[in-house]
Amino acid sequence: SMFVFFYNFVRPHSSLNGLTPAQVAGLNLNDKEKKKYPLVA
């Protein structure tokens, strides 16, 4: 579901020092690119 995608991949996590799991994995997107990803999920 969209919520699970957002919660697991897009939302910043406190245990990751405020980074998203995607950022920790090396994926750095600007704000415009971030807004596109939930549309494809």
Summarised one tens digit per residue, pLDDT across range 4-37 is 888 877 788 999 999 988 889 888 777 787 777 6
Three-state DSSP state, 23:
helix
The number of distinct structural domains making up the chain is: 1
Domain that holds residue 8: 2-40
pTM for the model stands at 0.55
Q: How confident is residue 39, by pLDDT bands cut at 50, 70 and 90?
A: low
CA distances to 16, 17, 31, 36 from 13, rounded to whole Å, are 5, 7, 17, 20
